[in-house]
A and B are shown apart, each in its own frame.
Chain A
């Protein structure tokens, strides 16, 4: 679609570079004067002179939805014009290098600005769609309503399409699964980190630390498969053996597997902060006669606490935003319950189910997904900012 105009511009740019460099070389060979900039920079200058207007032209054509050959012709023409003007400025005294470097720096700066643009893009697109959602559904119903059943009626007499958007059960389900995951991940992750940094020898550390990090590298869809087809049925069977009524898509199965996934987030960050605690603190405590475990509990952990809290907050934000495990292993029905053996649904599951498949973009159903997305983004943003701040402040303390 845009391949032809882009290829045209690429060829023209290469040609412009070659022309500019040749002209500069000729000038320095013919005349007595010295070039201010090396010929390469004159080449770059002419190429930029061509590519800049060409790209602007291409953008215009694209915005006006012009057909590809026309776009190629128009942007190519602009590129030739620009390159021609740039070529005329090639002269021995012309400061081509600063000009080229200025453009390059501007491009670099623009690249680093993309991070801000992406954040703004996320916020704007979420807020915009969410506002449209709140046109249809009042904010108070969304935030405080107790029934979530997003099937809007297509026909007026349809059965089972109440279309109520009270998101409390969804939030509650997210919290339940996240809580189970944290109950698994925080003790295991923290104790592993303590063992690795305080007790394990070099060889054990070199073996176990990467092994734990493998857990972080496994794609979440694999965890989801594991949760849905191995852990879920096991939990159900175990529950039935104990005489409990366990749903096949219980919150417990999804939470357990999510907890395993999050272990490395807790352990590797905690490991870092525990290692950053100065050795002198440990030696002082050991020298007073404390056992290693007393040293860890009374001295090392309090000193590392802010960092550990940061690690836990980051892991928490990871758990709230985790999608595939819950999509595959948790339920769709929004039950308001604190029973881990029942099926609950989460924010991410609802976003996926609302948006996957055929969709029309002005129904409250699809817009609800963006409202949920905004809530998700806001929650994780707050957690991330607090966590990053805590971790950063702590690190500065002992550097």
Chain B
């Protein structure tokens, strides 16, 4: 019986096979799409993390330094001469003593260039802390310049020491052989402000700037956003005006951020004459930008509070405002806060509008108040990514890592808040 073939059934089976193949293919496309997206994410993150790691360590050299009276205090003024003595000369002497074979002027200059610009100041600091050391010798740890640092970091790799002369390379190798070079954690990167010298540049100034800016953003967008959400959900009569407001809010949430920067430039800087580069203005611009996010999240949170709560409160004689402020708002607060934190996280990563209001200046000092010139983390990343020195590349990745660290912790906080306090009715 089975030998009898039904051509129609055969055709059906063939079609079915083809259809199943198409099914498998379609499914594979979907999986591949997710794979590509995740691969891109993984590529981005690994390239940042791998690029960032070197920036967290710096090379230092242990160098015996003689605090020579003849150099530091030629007039015999004692401790009074120390604050403005010539410490670069002391270092030059120390290098000359160690490497007498490099006596020429240009060779000596190359030797000095191995040390960071900061090294003389470190020596000064050391001696000011203990003026009794004057005339004696001590082994000091001194920071190496960015190029020397890069050379040492790429020792095992190819193309090392492109920026170093042969004299400098042989000096570094001599120090390495003596075990004088040490790799230490770059606290400076986390503690100091920006600098033209890559080995001295740090993110702390930008972190403080970001913090001040976000503080202004939070102070403006949270209360205003909460009030607006309460009004739209609890008080406003549904009508043309509220429709208008709603369209505006939804549209503002999708307006390119750079347009908010243009608004800030035209309004806050040109019309009101507020200071450029200040966290105050940056915070105000970012507040306008995050306000729609806060309002939308707040409205969703308020809408999820069940009407029975409102009716119960009204039933025992509370006024509408008392219902809104004393019953609805506390219950909606976790959702509102979650939305606000997510909005803040977006504001923290925002760069373009801040470029418009001049927060791209090169600023060394850590800002002390909201009207001081400052920069923020993403702008610092932008500035360093543009810097010509090779050592800034690792710094950029490291600053990105710091920024991502803040973002991750803010998002975790939001998730925690949601899981902990948000109630399902």
Contact = CB atoms under 8 A, between A and B. Distances in A.
Nearest to B29: A191
A260 interface: yes
A139 B230 CA distance: 44
Interface in A203-225: 208, 211-212, 214-215, 217-225
B235 A323 contact: no
A293 B256 contact: no
Given A291-B20, A324-B382, A225 B34 contact: no
Nearest to B30: A195
Nearest to A195: B30
A116 B288 CA distance: 11
Interface in B318-362: 319-321, 345, 348-352, 355-356, 358, 360
Contacts of B31: 195, 199
B256 A192 contact: no
B258 A351 contact: yes
A222 B288 contact: no
Nearest to A293: B26
A194 interface: yes
Contacts of B355: 327, 352, 355-356
Dominant SS among interface residues on chain B: helix
Given A111-B231, A195-B30, A225-B385, A324 B254 contact: no
Contact of B351 (A114, A321, A323): A323
Contact of A388 (B33, B44, B251, B385): B251
Contacts of A397: none
Interface stretch (B114-122, B127-135, B403-411): B403-411
B312 interface: no
A127 B40 CA distance: 40
Nearest to B270: A361
Interface stretch (A15-23, A102-110, A145-153): A102-110
Contact of B34 (A195, A230, A318, A322): A195
Nearest to B360: A356
A190 B320 CA distance: 45
Interface string A118-152: 11011001101100000000000000000000000
B24 to A, nearest CB: 9
Interface stretch (A82-90, A240-248, A330-338, A368-376): A368-376
Contacts of A104: 321
Given A226-B44, A226-B48, A260-B37, A119 B382 contact: no
Interface string A306-347: 000000001001101111100110000000000000000000
Given A109-B235, A219-B351, A221-B382, A291 B22 contact: yes
Interface string A90-106: 00000001100100110
B34 A101 contact: no
A80 B43 CA distance: 63
A323 B23 contact: no
A221 B230 CA distance: 34
A195 B32 CA distance: 10
A97 B319 contact: yes
B137 interface: no
A133 B31 CA distance: 51
Contacts of A361: 270
Interface in B215-249: 223-225, 227-232, 235-236, 244-245, 247-249
Contacts of B232: 112
A225 B43 CA distance: 13
B207 interface: no
A105 B44 contact: no
B46 to A, nearest CB: 10
B257 interface: yes
B416 interface: no
A125 B263 contact: yes
A188 B38 CA distance: 11
Contacts of A77: none
Nearest to B342: A217
A294 B255 contact: no
B201 to A, nearest CB: 16
Contact of B259 (A208, A218, A314, A321): A321
Interface string B43-68: 11001100000000000000000000
B396 interface: yes
Contacts of A69: none
Given A116-B245, A196-B34, A212-B37, A381 B255 contact: yes
A291 B382 contact: no
Contacts of A212: 34, 37-38
B297 interface: no
Nearest to B16: A291
Nearest to A118: B288
A348 B321 CA distance: 45
A372 to B, nearest CB: 9
Interface in B383-411: 385-386, 393, 396-397, 400, 403-404, 407, 411
Contacts of A75: none
A385 interface: yes
Nearest to A214: B41
Given A97-B319, A121-B267, A220-B349, A1 B371 contact: yes
B402 to A, nearest CB: 12
B27 interface: yes
A328 B295 CA distance: 32
Contacts of A322: 256
Given A196-B34, A323-B256, A323-B258, A218 B228 contact: no
A328 B386 CA distance: 8
A217 B44 CA distance: 13
Contacts of B396: 225
A187 B33 contact: yes
B291 interface: yes
> Which 8 pairs from chain A and chain B are nearest by CB?
A321-B256, A195-B30, A219-B349, A125-B266, A191-B33, A293-B26, A112-B228, A323-B352
Interface of B: 19-20, 22-23, 26-27, 29-34, 36-38, 40-41, 43-44, 47-48, 223-225, 227-232, 235-236, 244-245, 247-252, 254-260, 262-263, 265-267, 270, 288, 291-292, 295, 319-321, 345, 348-352, 355-356, 358, 360, 371, 378-379, 381-382, 385-386, 393, 396-397, 400, 403-404, 407, 411
Given A101-B319, A122-B259, A196-B34, 20 more contacts: A122-B260, A122-B263, A126-B262, A129-B266, A188-B33, A192-B30, A214-B41, A219-B351, A221-B385, A225-B396, A225-B397, A226-B47, A317-B254, A323-B258, A324-B352, A328-B382, A348-B256, A352-B355, A384-B254, A384-B255
12 contacts: A119-B252, A121-B263, A125-B263, A188-B36, A215-B41, A221-B349, A222-B349, A321-B255, A324-B351, A352-B258, A376-B258, A380-B255
